[in-house]
Structure 1
Amino acid sequence: MNRRSFVTGALAAHLLATTALAQQPGQTPPPPPPPNLDADGAAFSRDALDEQARLLATKAFEAPRNLLPDGFADLPQDVFRSIRMRPDRSLWQGENRGFGIDLLPGGFIYRSPVGVGLVEDGKVRMLPNEPGWFDFGRAPPPPGDKPFPFSGVSARAPIDRPEELREFALFQGATLFRALARGQIFGTSARGLAIDTGEPDGEEFPLFRTFWIERPGPASNSLVVYALLDSRRVTGSYRFTLRPGEITVIDVEFTLFPREELRHIGVAPMTSMFFFGPNDRVGVDDIRGQVHRADGLQIWNGAGEWVWRPLSNPSDLQISVFADKNPRGFGLLQRQRAFAAYNDLGRRYDRMPSVWVEPIGDWNDGQFQLTEIPSDADVNENIVVYWRPKEALKPGSRVSMAYRLHWCWTPPDRPGGATTVATVVGAAGGRRRRFVVDFAGESVADPNRAGAIRPMVSTSVGAIRDVVGRPNPEIKGYRVTFDLDPGNEELCELRMVLETDGKPISETWLYRWTA
């Protein structure tokens, strides 16, 4: 035996002995460390990210460290917004990649640090947490020799003009992200995951801990962003593929690894704001006619039925559920596009996107859950909607799903029949309430055929009175007027569909009235 053979054999014997000592009978070997994708030069892949999330789920949750300099957690919002990434440090500057990336600063309500890495040629290059990325505007510059955290990332693309890279998507705060289409401004937000929304013991908010952004090829039309989700009871790996344009599309693929049993999760959750509208103006004294980022929930269920549920700002917390199997789509839509309806040059609610979710693959049994939270201001995101799977997620399991988000003026999927274009509610004497619902579409456009249309209106309790249907020439559509007499009831579930010859010619209009 030569010296090299001896050394190799001795090393192998040492490793075998160490393994034997570490795995005595009745003992469980410690889990291997997760892949260190936060290290420069690490080989990055979706499988490696899955493995990092899986192994992280075998360890107890550790809350992120606070890296904010003194005073930054208490910055006023206007001062925080004055902090900008230095233009000369914007990623891929002058490289004709079709995209630009800006880092978002920590501070204000964004107190959890976020790691950001670039994936170039399959290798990771982490971006250092340092204040030199930013122009601090009206905020006091932090010490240059200490780390300064990122709170997220923003993506820019030539969405409006070929020569201008404009912000079209951003990821910032917990698992929130949002996007817009050509000509729009930001409105409704999406989230990576919802846990226990509306539950008595409170909601758990998962975090995106790290983002990895693939460097796109020259003049690319798509951008790929990966994220690691972490929470007290679950970890997850996410892949987002962003394609900006007339409709901005984000494909979302994710895999979850529960630390504990999860009975209530929300898939493809969205959050929005509804302050008041023509169906809900009780106690409103405002120069604006409507104030909302979305005015209704659209559902295309597994049976092929189209449902429209106008949103409201209730006096008490309201949770509505719609059971389904393998849904075809759902979304929070902004159907009202007339500026005069809002009369707000500052917020421009007429330019905010509708957001449509297209499930990919079978989602099996579950329910849509809509939560409407009382709000006394137009800055609160008081609307939450998501798909809630029926089956609980078991600890140690692996659950993968996918869907496509469309940020748009009008969703690519839409009902074949007439759609609701307005819901107006007002007093009708005593406790009675008067409803006016307008429909538009080819099936109701011809006034000569209006005599054959039958409005089928019902309520869960109380009574429907004085139903009148007639053409509405102002919109080339059809108007239904009726009264709800709730009697002594405090909550009524209303339903309406237009029929001709016993067959539906419109989407199904649903409404929850509360006293």
Structure 2
Amino acid sequence: MLRRDLVQGGLGLSGIAFLSSLGLRPSQAASAPRTAPEAGPFDGSTVQHLAQKMATEPYQAPNTTLPSAIAHMTWDDFRGVNYRPDQALWHDQKLGFQAQFFPRGFLYPAKVDMFEVADGKAAPVPYTPDLFNYDNPKLKVPDNLGYSGLRILSPINKPDVFEEFCVFLGASYFRAVAKGQVYGLSARGLAIGTGDPKGEEFARFSAFWLVRPPAGQNSLVVYALLDSQSVTGAFKFTITPGNETVFDVESSLFPRVDITEPGIATLTGMFYFDANNRNKVNDWRPAAHDSEGLSMWTGSGAQLWRPLNDPAALQFSAFQDSSPHGFGLMQRKRAFFDYQDVALQYEKRPSLWIEPIGDWGQGAVDLVEIPSPNEVNDNIVSFWRPKDKLAAKGQYNFTYRMHWGWDNPQPTQLGRIVDTRIGNSDDHSGLEIVLDIVGDAVKTLPADAKPHAQLSASAGKISAVVVEPNPATGGQRIMFTLEPGDAKLIELSGVLMNDQTPLSETWLYRWTP
């Protein structure tokens, strides 16, 4: 199963590196009665009240038993079962949105309840096998199976042409694109224990409510119910597609037990290689990744840039902060020639910036980098981890805005690092590191300016530092040599300065052999 097959199939990966262990694990629903979504009156508090009640009850795993004809679906089988476009929700109502649904099977055996909300009432989205087209007729079974996820369509690129721009599929994963983009990284409603050697718990969206939009409205409201062994949650997504696709997220979490390793506003993507780790890969392309770096704007106003890596061993980094202004996994290289991949179009993958709304208090932006032998696996995870645990029987509210687009939506006066290049020094005793910086702050320097690099390393030795203009980019270039010595891990930082004034964001990098 190749990444290009998955991407061209319209699904992307949907966190396949993590879901393979989740979706294929057999589980049976408990027989005890439980609170479950029902048809009936619906308002903005319905899902929150439902999640709060469920948190007082024992967790019940979803029933993943499927008829034998589809119990062992392959990827090809799954993508050969397609919702009929003429049966899409709101297809004939001349609204700005339509919804289609995914079948159960493959990595997605659990049923997800789907409701439409209209005139203050929730009604189940009907299911019959006739709603799908089947490449293999043997996969059409009469059972009332229901759905595993949904995709949302809108005229995002051409007027009156409905195209998929958002999908919710697998655990609490979802992804979106802006105008002119293709799928790349994913988001998650909640992460629990990511990077913990004991393993990760996967909360799942078990139900969705799609609010029928009035004619002419450019936003769609979707409610979602989260459930897992440790927590329940209520989410409200107000989704606005366009040149930048924006999700306004209101979430309430109700832990069943203490959660010491929560991940809020979780981002998941893939980084295989770029110029900072090319020596590990024999590939015809210059780079391959969904995202190339983690950008962070701290509560104190610092702007940080951490290039990503595919490490030899699991790496976990935590960037302490208080009341963060934002963070995100960003794709800064935007030219075809940066990747040379006609099929996968990495230059069109979205960046995703998280803008906290309100004071999130103390915590850290965490980054998990997981070794991967190829570009099939989603091996990068980043999220906000509050300083204090989420205590059992409490309620925790997090509101934030998600910007799926081409860049950070907030303007900056600082130069940005657009390239980190690492290779052996001439005598192979150390590493040559090159940073390219662009932006108005470095493009319009006074003639008498003497920019210099402020560099530091937690181990090893830095030498041969050079700062010079780069006529090709209109910016500045920092070059230096790092001699690691016997070090197995070195934390590096650097910033371009003019006297005592920063000209660039701060570059952070973790070097490992």
1:49-198 equivalences in 2 (<5 Å): 49-138=47-136, 140-144=138-142, 146-198=143-195
CA distance in 1, matches of 2:138, 2:463: 64
Contact 2:69 2:141 in 1 (8 A): no
Shift of residue 253, structure 1, vs aligned partner: 0.6
Contact 1:453 1:500 in 2 (8 A): yes
Change in Cα spacing, 1:92 to 1:498, as seen in structure 2 (3 Å) is same
What amino acid sits opposite 1:455 in the alignment?
A
Contact 1:35 1:52 in 2 (8 A): no
CA distance in 1, matches of 2:446, 2:401: 41
CA distance in 1, matches of 2:486, 2:150: 52
Q: Secondary structure at the match of 1:461?
A: coil
Task: Find the counterpart in structure 2 of residue 39 from structure 1.
Answer: 38
CA distance in 1, matches of 2:325, 2:490: 27
Q: Secondary structure at the match of 2:158?
A: coil
1:93-492 equivalences in 2 (<5 Å): 93-138=91-136, 140-144=138-142, 146-428=143-425, 429-446=427-444, 449=447, 451-492=449-490
Task: Find the counterpart in structure 1 of residue 28 from structure 2.
Answer: none
Contact 1:296 1:308 in 2 (8 A): yes
Shift of residue 483, structure 1, vs aligned partner: 0.6
CA distance in 1, matches of 2:488, 2:168: 41
CA distance in 2, matches of 1:73, 1:316: 35
Contact 1:118 1:126 in 2 (8 A): yes
Shift of residue 140, structure 1, vs aligned partner: 2.3
Q: Secondary structure at the match of 1:315?
A: coil
Contact 2:37 2:50 in 1 (8 A): no
Contact 1:455 1:499 in 2 (8 A): yes
Shift of residue 151, structure 1, vs aligned partner: 1.0
Contact 2:81 2:103 in 1 (8 A): yes
Structure 1 or 2, whichever has the larger Rg, is 1
Change in Cα spacing, 1:150 to 1:277, as seen in structure 2 (3 Å) is same
Per-residue CA distance 1:406-453 (angstroms, 9 max, x = gap): 000112114311000111000113341110100001121147647510
CA distance in 2, matches of 1:211, 1:47: 14
Task: Find the counterpart in structure 2 of residue 507 from structure 1.
Answer: 505
CA distance in 1, matches of 2:180, 2:110: 32
Change in Cα spacing, 1:111 to 1:449, as seen in structure 2 (3 Å) is farther
Shift of residue 148, structure 1, vs aligned partner: 2.0
Shift of residue 47, structure 1, vs aligned partner: 1.7
CA distance in 1, matches of 2:326, 2:69: 44
Q: Secondary structure at the match of 1:381?
A: coil
What amino acid sits opposite 2:154 in the alignment?
A
CA distance in 2, matches of 1:73, 1:423: 46
Shift of residue 34, structure 1, vs aligned partner: 11
Change in Cα spacing, 1:121 to 1:393, as seen in structure 2 (3 Å) is same
| Structure 2 unaligned blocks of 5 or more | 1-31
Shift of residue 200, structure 1, vs aligned partner: 2.1
CA distance in 2, matches of 1:136, 1:173: 21
Shift of residue 96, structure 1, vs aligned partner: 1.3
Per-residue CA distance 1:199-244 (angstroms, 9 max, x = gap): 1211100010000000000122000000110000100111000000
Q: Which moved more, 1:275-284 or 1:443-452?
A: 443-452
CA distance in 2, matches of 1:466, 1:59: 63
Contact 2:322 2:362 in 1 (8 A): yes
Contact 1:317 1:374 in 2 (8 A): yes
What amino acid sits opposite 1:38 in the alignment?
P
What amino acid sits opposite 1:444 in the alignment?
V
CA distance in 2, matches of 1:449, 1:382: 45
CA distance in 2, matches of 1:255, 1:181: 27
What amino acid sits opposite 2:323 in the alignment?
N
Shift of residue 131, structure 1, vs aligned partner: 1.5
CA distance in 2, matches of 1:504, 1:411: 20
What amino acid sits opposite 1:389 in the alignment?
P
Q: Which moved more, 1:476-485 or 1:424-433?
A: 424-433
Q: Which moved more, 1:207-216 or 1:283-292?
A: 283-292
What amino acid sits opposite 1:472 in the alignment?
N
Q: Secondary structure at the match of 2:419?
A: strand
Change in Cα spacing, 1:129 to 1:88, as seen in structure 2 (3 Å) is same
Change in Cα spacing, 1:109 to 1:438, as seen in structure 2 (3 Å) is same
Change in Cα spacing, 1:368 to 1:450, as seen in structure 2 (3 Å) is farther
CA distance in 1, matches of 2:170, 2:210: 17
CA distance in 2, matches of 1:123, 1:451: 66
Contact 2:296 2:303 in 1 (8 A): yes
Q: Secondary structure at the match of 2:332?
A: coil
Q: Secondary structure at the match of 2:48?
A: helix
What amino acid sits opposite 2:126 in the alignment?
P
Contact 2:65 2:71 in 1 (8 A): no
What amino acid sits opposite 1:207 in the alignment?
R
Percent identity over the alignment? 42
TM-score (normalised: structure 2) = 0.91
CA distance in 2, matches of 1:70, 1:425: 52
Shift of residue 479, structure 1, vs aligned partner: 0.5
Contact 1:193 1:266 in 2 (8 A): yes
* Residue-pair matches, total: 481
Per-residue CA distance 1:351-399 (angstroms, 9 max, x = gap): 0100000000000000010000000111100000000001111111111
CA distance in 2, matches of 1:139, 1:492: 57
Displaced runs of 4+ in structure 1, greater than 4 A?
A: 33-37
CA distance in 1, matches of 2:466, 2:137: 60
What amino acid sits opposite 1:39 in the alignment?
E
What amino acid sits opposite 2:283 in the alignment?
D
Q: Secondary structure at the match of 1:51?
A: helix
